[in-house]
Amino acid sequence: MELIIGSHVSFKKDDQLVGSVLETISYDANTFMFYTGAPQNTSRVPINSELTKKGLELMKLNNINIKNVVVHAPYIINLANSNNFDFNVRFLKEELERVESLGVDKLVLHPGSHVGVGIDQGIQNIIDSLNVALKDDTKVTICLETMAGKGTELGRNFEEIKRIIDGVELKDKIGVCMDTCHLNDSGYDLSDFDSILNEFDKIIGLKYLKVIHINDSKNEINTHKDRHDNIGIGKIGFDNLIKIIYHDKLKGIPKILETPYVEKNPPYKQEIEMIRNKEFNENLIKDILE
Ligand SMILES: [Zn+2]
């Protein structure tokens, strides 16, 4: 099976999905992830069905399967904080509709930060929000992302993700997105990824794993920082990331890079090329800048 690899791309109001697909093609990627608007706010333009149609045609011509494409919910949405319950749920419902109208079936969501109400109440708030937002006819899977544990972030470990899933009624509409940088920062040793996968399978179940964010980390294990680094440049390292990307049990799962731009240059074309070659490019940063 062919490696399914792509990156975060932009989704601009003027060309929408068409622009996202063209950017993906420019990276020699075969999948992509985008926010339907700015990640730090919730203002969204209506999805243009003409542009969606054109984007989907362009994808077909370039062998990009819509089943592997991912939308990321804005990180300002905090389901763990019940103060904004009605707003959060309304936004999430609308976002699910936007994602569905684009033909995408995976929405990655940060579980949220409890900001003082405590872990148990925070988890309950997330469960309550998901149970109102998800309906029998929802076609999109909400993929809860594993988090670095910065501040009061929830989803710092598989146990917390499992507790959320346990509370959700419509479990077929819930999945998980693993993020390698977050796993490292929350204390998982990625040099022993087989153990991590076994633990994931035992606690949550591998069938829930739908997306993997592939990022290196600027910080050592267990520092709870969440600062992504370019592939092979950070503390996780190239060999550990390659083992994850090509892991037998993860075939068919889209791998998405969310690594930082280098002086305003996207790193994705060079990183994807290096990943396909399975060999670290000593000149990575230089090549990105060229
Ligand atoms: Zn991520």
Q: Letter for the amino acid at 190?
A: L
pLDDT at 157: 98
pLDDT confidence band for 123 (50 / 70 / 90): very high
Q: State the average pLDDT over residues 88-93.
A: 95
CA 129–ligand 1 middle distance (angstroms): 21
CA 214–ligand 1 middle distance (angstroms): 8
pLDDT at 247: 98
Per cent of the chain over pLDDT 70 is 100
pLDDT confidence band for 39 (50 / 70 / 90): confident
CA 207–ligand 1 middle distance (angstroms): 19
Mean pLDDT taken over the chain? 97
Quick check: is 43 in a domain?
yes
Quick check: is 88 in a domain?
yes
Contact 229, 257 (CB under 8 A): no
pLDDT at 20: 98
What is the domain extent for residue 176? 5-266
Quick check: is 161 in a domain?
yes
Of 82-86, 103-107, 265-269, the least confident:
82-86
Quick check: is 279 in a domain?
no
CA 108–ligand 1 middle distance (angstroms): 8
Residues 40-52: tens digit of each pLDDT = 888 899 999 999 9
Residues 173-201: tens digit of each pLDDT = 999 999 999 999 999 999 999 999 999 99
Per-residue DSSP letter, 153: B
What is the spatial distance between Cα 263 and Cα 10, in angstroms, rounded to a whole number? 17
CA 182–ligand 1 middle distance (angstroms): 7
CA 192–ligand 1 middle distance (angstroms): 20
Task: Decide if pLDDT at 1 tops 80.
Answer: no
What crossing angle do the helices spanning 158-167 and 119-133 adopt, rounded to 10°? 50
Residues 225-248: tens digit of each pLDDT = 999 999 999 999 999 999 999 999
Per cent of the chain over pLDDT 90 is 95
pLDDT confidence band for 268 (50 / 70 / 90): very high
pLDDT at 226: 94
Show the tokens assigned to 59: 């994808």
Q: State the average pLDDT over residues 69-91.
A: 93
What is the spatial distance between Cα 140 and Cα 23, in angstroms, rounded to a whole number? 24
* HEC sequence for 96-115: HHHHHHCCCCEEEECCCECC
What is the spatial distance between Cα 282 and Cα 272, in angstroms, rounded to a whole number? 14
Quick check: is 238 in a domain?
yes
Q: Phi, psi (5° rounding) for residue 42?
A: -115, 15
Q: Letter for the amino acid at 70?
A: V
Quick check: is 286 in a domain?
no
pLDDT at 44: 92
At residue 245, the 3 state secondary structure works out as helix
Quick check: is 179 in a domain?
yes
CA 212–ligand 1 middle distance (angstroms): 8
CA 258–ligand 1 middle distance (angstroms): 6
Q: What CA dihedral angle connects 130, 131, 132 and 135, to 10 degrees?
A: 100
Helices (H) and strands (E) in the chain, counts: 10, 10
Of 74-78, 91-95, 149-153, 195-199, the least confident:
74-78
pLDDT at 75: 86
CA 97–ligand 1 middle distance (angstroms): 22
CA 231–ligand 1 middle distance (angstroms): 14
CA 107–ligand 1 middle distance (angstroms): 12
pLDDT at 109: 98
Quick check: is 274 in a domain?
no
CA 114–ligand 1 middle distance (angstroms): 19
CA 257–ligand 1 middle distance (angstroms): 8
CA 83–ligand 1 middle distance (angstroms): 25
pLDDT at 70: 98
Contact 75, 35 (CB under 8 A): no
pLDDT at 156: 97
CA 132–ligand 1 middle distance (angstroms): 25
CA 180–ligand 1 middle distance (angstroms): 8
pLDDT at 154: 98
CA 60–ligand 1 middle distance (angstroms): 26
Residue 66 is part of a domain; what is its CATH number?
3.20.20.150
Residues 128-169: tens digit of each pLDDT = 999 999 999 999 999 999 999 999 999 999 999 999 999 999
Structurally, how many domains does the chain consist of? 1
